[in-house]
Every structure is written in structure tokens, then in C-alpha cells.
Amino acid sequence: MVAGKVALVTGARRGIGLATARLLAAAGARVVLLNRAGDGDGSSLDELAGDLAASHATECLAVTADVADPSQLSDGYRAILKRFGRLDILVNNAGILGDARLGMIPDAMIRQVIDTNLIAVIANIQAASRLMRRSGGGAIVSVTSIVGLRGNPGQVVYAASKAGIVGATLSAAKELAADGIRVNAVAPGFIETDMIGHLGPEVTAERLDGIPLGRAGSAEEVAEAIVFLASERARYITGQVLGVDGGMVL
């Protein structure tokens, strides 16, 4: 129930973002893939958008922009307005890690993680809601993390940025409901993406031991939750944080 809608996915080059873009395109949405330059496997964002459009008989637009750069983000929204004249769905997925123990966290890391993971999310919500008001409503889904709900040693900055998304989601849901804009979030747990590729076998085994369902999740499983919340099937759902974690939060 997203056919014909215009959907923006940030961090769309890989992982959860790419899986979400694919699922939206397969469901008939017109998809804007936004990603920073130089992030990927060598093929261009334009090629990816073209492949998705051809595979699913829909329209896709590639926008190269760093969400943490306000001028690049503004240019991206102007490109969306010029191409489609509207925006119906925003998926705030772009994010970075920043692991370091307290006392050893560089100031530059703090700024980079907060700028990318939190300030950019708020900037996207602001820009997207302006366009959504013009067309009578929309849906915003942001990707937080189980770490933002329960914390994790060595991830104080990352956890703070993801916890901030929860607060922003709840507040925006209350503020934008009158405009017909629903705002929700998903909180993935241990998901098989590049973000866990740096973990050694011992840490991986420890994390898996803490998952009641006994396995890591997939990017596609998170994408299914995102697309549900963005769709008309979730038309009476707003201000919620949906865990996609195999029970880790229990």
C-alpha cells in the first residue's frame, strides 16, 4: 500500500537502506535513493537507481548528498521537488558508528556521529514535513537502535545519538499528527550488515547468546518493518518505536 507514493530513503546504498529501497520499489513506490559520495562497492548510485527502476517498472532518482551537510541536504530536497513535486514517505536510515571508551572519545568523533545520526534526522524531518504538508500528509520512519534503548559499553556517543532519535520521533509524532503526518521508528538489534563486520567471533557469539530467537536478523527483515510503518496498513500508528531485535530488548 505504497504504490505511486514518493519515498526518500537516506543511506540507501547498502544494508538496511538498500533493502528498504528495493522493497519500496517492488511495492510500486517511486523511490529517491540518497547517499553520500564514495560509499559503496564501486557501482554508481545512478546505476543502482536505474536497475531498481527497470526491475520494478517504477521511477527512481539518485541523489548524492551527505546528510550531515545542510547545503547538500537542501540541494537534495530541491531535486526531489523538481522531479516529483511532492514527498510522501521519509526513511531516515543513514547512520554511522563511533565506538570508543569513555575518556578516549575524540571530539571530532562526537561531532561526526551526532551530526550524522541525530542532527541530520531532525533536519530531514523538518524538510520532509514541509513537503508532506503541501500534499496532505505522509509517513516518516527513522532507524534508531536497540543500543539507544538499553546502552552498550564503548558506544556512549552512538547510543546517545540513537536515543535522541527516539525523543525526536515521539515529539514529532505529537506535533505533526494534525497535519496528517505519522512519525515512527524501528529499533534494530543485531543485524547482518556492514556495521557488525568489524566484530570478532567471540563478540559475535556473545551477542547471539543474548538473542532469544537465537540468530542475527537480516536487513530485509528490518526493511519489512519499515515499509509496513510507512504504508497505509499502519495508518493508525504513530509515535511508536518498533523493536526488530529477535527479543534482545526483553
Q: Which of 117, 9, 17, 25 is nearest to 63 (CA)?
A: 9
Using CA atoms, how far apart are residues 55 and 27, in angstroms rounded to an integer?
A: 12
Sign of CA dihedral 184, 2, 50, 72: negative
Q: Is 236 among the residues known to form the active site?
A: no
Establish how many alpha carbons lie within 13 A of residue 125's alpha carbon, considering only the half-sphere containing its beta carbon. 26
Using CA atoms, how far apart are residues 178 and 120, in angstroms rounded to an integer?
A: 23
Q: Roughly how many angstroms between the first and final C-alpha of the chain, as a whole number? A: 31
- Active-site residue, from 80, 117, 131, 158: 158
Contact 140, 184 (CB under 8 A): yes
Q: Which residues are identified as catalytic?
A: 158
